[in-house]
Amino acid sequence: MAMSELSLKSVRKTFGALEVIKGVDLEIEKGEFTVFVGPSGCGKSTLLRMIAGLEDISSGDLEISGERMNETDPSKRGIAMVFQSYALYPHLTVRQNMGFALRFAGVPKAEIEKQVMDAARILELEKLLDRKPKALSGGQRQRVAIGRAIVRHPKVFLFDEPLSNLDAELRVHMRVEIAKLHKKLGATVVYVTHDQVEAMTLADKIVVLRDGRIEQVGSPLQLYSDPDNRFVAGFIGSPKMNFLPATAVTTNGQPSIRLDASGIVLPAGHLATRLAEGTKLVAGLRPEIFKDGGDSSLLLDIEMVEHLGSETLVHARSGETLVTVKYGGIRPMKDGETVRAEFDAASVLFFGADDQRIR
Amino acid sequence: MDRLTRGLTAFFTYAFLGIMAFLSVFPFIWMVLGATNTSIDIIKGKVGIGTALLDNIRAFNAAVDVPLVFWNSIKIALISTALTLIVASLAGYGFEVFRSKYRERVYSAILLTLMVPFAALMIPLFVMMGKFGLINTHWAVILPTLGSAFVIFYFRQSTKAFPSELRDAARVDGLKEWQIFLLIYVPVMRSTYAAAFIIVFMASWNNYLWPLIVLQSNEMKTITLVVSSMASAYYPDFGAVMVSAILATLPTLIVFFVMQRQFVQGMTGSIK
């Protein structure tokens, strides 16, 4: 088995009596782009800072290239970090900022200059090298911050929400730049974000965190189409998955699931789990599974329609439950109408009362 | 009616501001004009340019060893300011950046010293300086100013604006704590240092009561002591007093005007 570039074993972090990272096990392969996602306060940034050495590890082991790094100084872990606020030294020029770490590592001047020039070329920063950070735009600052990381040739790049301070347009642009850069350098990347679009587009592997624990690890499409639990199902995908209360029933001798509000019955024969009659569960319907010609349907009272041109978002009610439906293109639907929204029953996911997926 | 109210409000506002401005500026004008008049004219209350400027300068020069007194003041002010800035910025940075169980308690204790009037400290301080054998030395003036609670407080408040990610970045770049302080914190916070420099330099330059107590021989005295002793002489030569007052005011004015931009930046807490 190939050795992981980065490995976390039962890693925990406590602040006094408060445990913020509750035992994380994770293997990241060389060259892999791994994204930590999760809601605010889930511990994703803390975990990244623990990898960087900016926070102590309370227990467990951190290994980089097979070497235990728990107590190693941040500068000697073979990592480089890009911060949300860029954290460029305001009193130094771009050139000095990028060469700063090398200067402290005792690298000869000529070599520093070469490394800085190489990184500047990759990031198209050559013309800005003698400027101070305050004379740069947000996107340029972010490129300098990335350049500062590149010159160190780290084993692992750590990104802490690097695009959050940029406007929407620039964020998309920088996202593409980071993806290209990863391809070009073939570097191992750990990237923290709360933006699931960033996670989906950049990641080879997504780690979904909640409350200091890993909820699921997998490729973006795996998490989207095969989530382990209701939290991951709800977190990945936009608009969010619809959750409708349901009950296990038997129809014509076949195991089925009935949606409580609408009375619609869905076949459950494909599930490996045998559900006892009357078991309460939750059906998960992604907004995008609704399409004309589906084998099942929901009767919906439309509350609001959002026409976005390329798609139409319908916010409606099925009984008490709010349901969002996403149709491609333009649909002539109006607020207050009642419509029958069709979908394929096979696309519906089911979750138990404990929020775990029923397969 | 509305226009009238507005007009009246403006009138009273400007009248009030005018009076305040006059009260602030007039002593300076009088000081400058006084330096050109004879002592008798000044006592009579003459406000106007006189012809006695050169005589007054000569009288002042004859009464005081000007270079020595200036040197004493400058030496004390500069050493005291430099050391205070070093101590206070290290303390302010430490209090803000490092977490400890006792941090807030120690900090509160330091702030508490702001509540103790200097008059209450004079005698114990004097005894202390006596035991150290420092009476009638400049160190007796400098040492008690170093642990200034106000300047520590000022640095801690300003450090709140110092981005913690800069410190993180520096740690990842391999800097030790003292290098982070010297190579990142100090240059980033230079406007804070500039503002603190002006405040402490002025306070030190204008310091009167404590030097009066501990500096006893003439060759140790500072400019403030000299101005005061000239003014309280049996027959004070007010013309010469005005000249000495101008000379005593000049350095602080120069320092302020040279560092005005940084001072304002430092007081408004901008980091660039």
Cα radius of gyration rounded to whole Å, chain A: 24
A145 and A292 part of one domain: no
Contact B188 A91 (CB under 8 A): yes
| Interface contact flag, B172 A74, Cβ < 8 Å | yes
Q: Inter-chain contact B272–A52, Cβ cutoff 8 Å? A: no
Cα–Cα dist A206/B58, whole Å: 84
Cβ-Cβ contacts under 8 Å for B164 (sequence gap 6 or more)? B97
Q: SS3 of A1, please?
A: coil
Contacts of B179 in chain A (CB under 8 A): 104
Residue B169 lies in a domain: yes
* B190, closest residue in chain A (CA to CA): A91
Here the CATH number for the domain that contains residue A11 is 3.40.50.300
Which of B166, B174, B188 has the CB atom closest to A75's CB atom? B174
Length of chain B: 272
Distance from the A188 Cα atom to the nearest Cα atom in chain B, whole angstroms:
17
| From A74, A87, A134, residue closest to B163, measured CB to CB | A87
With bands split at pLDDT 50, 70 and 90, how would you rate the model's confidence at B8?
very high
Nearest to A310 by CA among A294, A325, A326: A326
Please spell the DSSP secondary structure of chain B, one letter per residue: -HHHHHHHHHHHHHHHHHHHHHHHHHHHHHHHHHTTS-HHHHHHT--S--S-HHHHHHHHHHHS-HHHHHHHHHHHHHHHHHHHHHHHHHHHHHHHHS--TTHHHHHHHHHHGGGS-HHHHHHHHHHHHHHHT-TTSHHHHHGGGSS-HHHHHHHHHHHTTS-HHHHHHHHHTT--HHHIIIIIIHHHTHHHHHHHHHHHHHHHHH--HHHHHH--SGGG--HHHHHHHHHTSSS--HHHHHHHHHHHHHHHHHHHHHTHHHHHHHHHT---
In terms of domains, do A211 and A246 share one?
no
* Residues on chain B bordering chain A, Cβ-to-Cβ distance under 8 angstroms: 163, 165-166, 168-175, 179, 184, 187-188, 190, 271-272
A338 and A206 in a single domain? The answer is no
Q: How many domains would you assign to chain B?
A: 1
**Are the beta carbons of A313 and A331 closer than 8 angstroms?**
no
A216/A285 same-domain check: no
Q: Is the ipTM of this complex over 0.90?
A: no
pLDDT per residue over B177-193, tens digit each?
999 999 999 999 998 99
Confidence (pLDDT) at B271? 56
Alpha-carbon dihedral angle through residues B71, B77, B80, B84, given to the nearest 10 degrees: -160
- Asked if residue B129 belongs to a domain, the reply is yes
CB contact under 8 A, B187 and A91: yes
**B100 occurs within a structural domain:** yes
Please report the number of interchain residue pairs, chain A to chain B, with beta-carbon separation below 8 angstroms: 56
A-chain CB neighbours of B174 within 8 Å are 73-76, 101, 104-105
Q: Is residue B114 domain-resident?
A: yes
Residues in A touching B166 (Cβ below 8 Å): 87, 89
In chain A, which residue's Cα lies nearest the Cα of B101? Answer: A16
> Is A107 touching B (CB cutoff 8 A)?
no
Residue bearing tokens 């006893």: B216
Contact B169 A87 (CB under 8 A): yes
Q: Is A49 on the interface with B (CB under 8 A)?
A: yes
B41-51 pLDDT tens trace: 888 888 888 88
Compute chain B's Rg from CA coordinates.
23
Query: What is the DSSP secondary-structure string of A118-145?
Result: HHHHHTT-GGGTTS-GGGS-HHHHHHHH
Question: Which residue range forms the structural domain that includes residue B122?
Answer: 65-222+250-268
Tens digit of pLDDT for each residue in A230-278?
999 999 988 999 999 999 998 888 889 999 888 888 988 788 888 888 8
Same-domain check for residues A228 and A252: no
Residue A24 lies in a domain: yes
Q: Do both A268 and A176 map to the same domain?
A: no
pLDDT, mean of residues B100-119:
92
**Is A294 part of any domain?**
yes
Residue at A323 is within a domain: yes
**Residue A199: inside a domain:** yes
pLDDT at A253: 82
Same domain flag for A118 and A95: yes
Q: Assess if residue B141 is contained within a domain.
A: yes
Residue matched to tokens 């000299």: B226
- Kindly state whether residues A192 and A78 are assigned to the same domain: yes
Paired strand residues for A62: A8
Q: What's residue B183's pLDDT?
A: 94
Angle between helices B66-97 and B223-231 (to 10 degrees): 130
Q: Which of B100, B171, B172 to mutate against chain A (most A CBs within 10 Å)? A: B172
Residues A269 and A231 in one domain: no
Q: Is residue B46 part of a domain?
A: no
- Domain end marker among A191, A209, A235: A235
Rounded to a whole number of angstroms, the distance from the CA of B79 to the nearest CA of chain A is 26
* CA-based nearest residue in chain B for residue A133: B272
- From chain B, the residues in CB contact with A52 under 8 A are 168, 172
Q: Which of B175, B179, B272 sits opposite A90 (nearest CB)?
A: B272
**Nearest-Cα residue of chain A relative to residue B163:** A87
| Chain-chain contact of A83 with B272 (C-beta, under 8 angstroms) | no
Q: What six digits make up the tokens of B194?
A: 């500039």
Q: What is the pLDDT of residue A14?
A: 93
CATH of the domain at A300: 2.40.50.140
Across the interface, whether the CB atoms of B188 and A89 are under 8 A apart is answered: yes
> Any idea which of A19-33, B120-134, B142-156, B227-241 has the lowest mean pLDDT?
B227-241
Q: Of B99 and A88, which is predicted with more confidence?
A: A88
- Please report residues of A whose CB lies closer than 8 A to that of B173: 75, 100-101, 104
Partner-chain contact A89 B163, CB within 8 Å: no
A345 is in which domain, residue-wise? 242-358
Q: DSSP code of A90? A: T
The Cα B29–Cα B46 span in angstroms is: 12
For residue A23, being part of any structural domain is answered with yes
pLDDT-derived band at B153, boundaries 50, 70, 90? very high
Identify the pLDDT of residue A2: 56
In whole angstroms, what is the distance from residue A183 CA to residue B66 CA? Answer: 73
Closest CA to A318 of A243, A250, A268, A251: A243
The domain boundary, picked from A200, A220, A235, lies at A235
User: Is A1 contained in some domain?
Assistant: no
Name the residue among B165, B171, B190 with its Cβ closest to that of A74: B171
Query: Are A152 and A264 in a shared domain?
Result: no
Q: Which position has the token pair 């080879």?
A: A204
Choose the final residue of a domain: A220, A235, A250. Answer: A235
**Within this chain, do residues A77 and A134 fall inside the same structural domain, yes or no?**
yes
One domain, residues A208 and A266: no
> Residue B1 has what pLDDT?
63
Q: Domains in chain A: how many in total?
A: 2
Among B156, B157, B153, CA closest to B112:
B153
Q: What is the nearest CA distance from A103 to chain B, expressed in angstroms?
A: 9
The residue in chain B having the minimum alpha-carbon distance to the alpha carbon of residue A49 is B168
Low-confidence ranges of chain A (pLDDT < 70): 1-3
B132: domain CATH number is 1.10.3720.10
